[in-house]
Amino acid sequence: MNSSLFPFALLCFTSFFTLTNPLGTMPVFLTMTHGMSDKERQSIARRATIVSFITLMVFVFAGQFLFKFFGISTNGFRIAGGVIIFKIGFDMLQARYTAMKLKDEEIKTYADDISITPLGIPMLCGPGAIANAIVLMQDAQSYEMKGVLIGVIALIYVITFFILRASTRLVRLIGETGNNVMMRLMGLILMVIAVECFVSGVKPILVDIVKQGVTLPGVL
């Protein structure tokens, strides 16, 4: 059991860390919190990570219900999730990140809200992370794997909080070039994960099509 848990935990960690992308969020976080004290930045980072974690947990546990309610197949969601995650990874591979263009007066006006939107949702908990959470919850066949998934998500947001809290020092330390290199590396990893997710959704559908094609002549 332990031998199967470690690869799953590693997959959860790498996929969620790249999708959450706390290192890429640092420059945007510093822009949105420009002029604020370290204490205010820490408070915003704490609220943003808590909101993101709670939101992701809702989708983790409500994913099955949403599938049944909307009549969504797991394979179809894997395909859509793979496309979304691949697009995010491709943008990261090009060292592009969706920056929030806010004026100084807008930053001051919405300072109390940025911890929820846009910092928490959709930056730290976007469609890619949500899709990944639902798909991995589907793959978690045992309670141990489900516990690993929840624990890894919690760990990711704890790490994200500390990264955002130390964002001023980290940006100066790694510099723009270092940040771009790390973003490209994480983007490449994310694209590989996306392809695996896409293939795992397409394969069962193709198998069903082939089976139907084989049995159809016999019926006729």
pLDDT in tens, 55-88: 999 999 998 788 888 888 878 888 888 888 888 7
Q: Which helix (H) or strand (E) holds 88?
A: helix 74-93
| pLDDT (mean) for 188-193 | 86
Q: What is the pLDDT of residue 220?
A: 47
pLDDT by residue (tens digit) across 3-28? 689 999 999 999 999 899 898 888 77
Name the 3-class secondary structure at 36. Answer: coil
For 157-172, letters b (16+ CB in 10 Å) and e give: bebbbebbbebeebbe
Q: What is the pLDDT of residue 155?
A: 98
CA-nearest of 186, 163, 145 to 60 is 145
Name the 3-class secondary structure at 100. Answer: coil
Give CA separation, 87 vs 18, 78, 120, 128, 129, in Å. 13, 14, 20, 9, 13
- Does position 169 have pLDDT exceeding 50, yes or no? yes
Q: Tell the residue number behind the tokens 């995010």, with chain if given.
A: 88
| pLDDT (mean) for 138-164 | 96
- Does position 157 have pLDDT exceeding 90, yes or no? yes
Higher pLDDT, 98 or 46: 46
Q: Where are the beta strands (DSSP E) in the chain?
A: none
Q: Tell the residue number behind the tokens 């489900």, with chain if given.
A: 146
Residue 54 region, left (φ>0) first, then alpha (ψ -120 to 50), else beta? Answer: alpha
- Up-side HSE of residue 28: CA atoms within 13 Å toward CB? 22
Number of domain units in the chain: 1
CA-nearest of 25, 11, 17, 7 to 167 is 25
For residue 124, give the DSSP letter: I
Higher pLDDT, 125 or 122: 125
Domain enclosing residue 102, as ranges: 2-219
Q: Picking from 15-19, 38-42, 68-72, 165-169, which range would have the lowest pLDDT averaged per residue?
A: 68-72
- Does position 129 have pLDDT exceeding 80, yes or no? yes
pTM to 2 decimals? 0.76
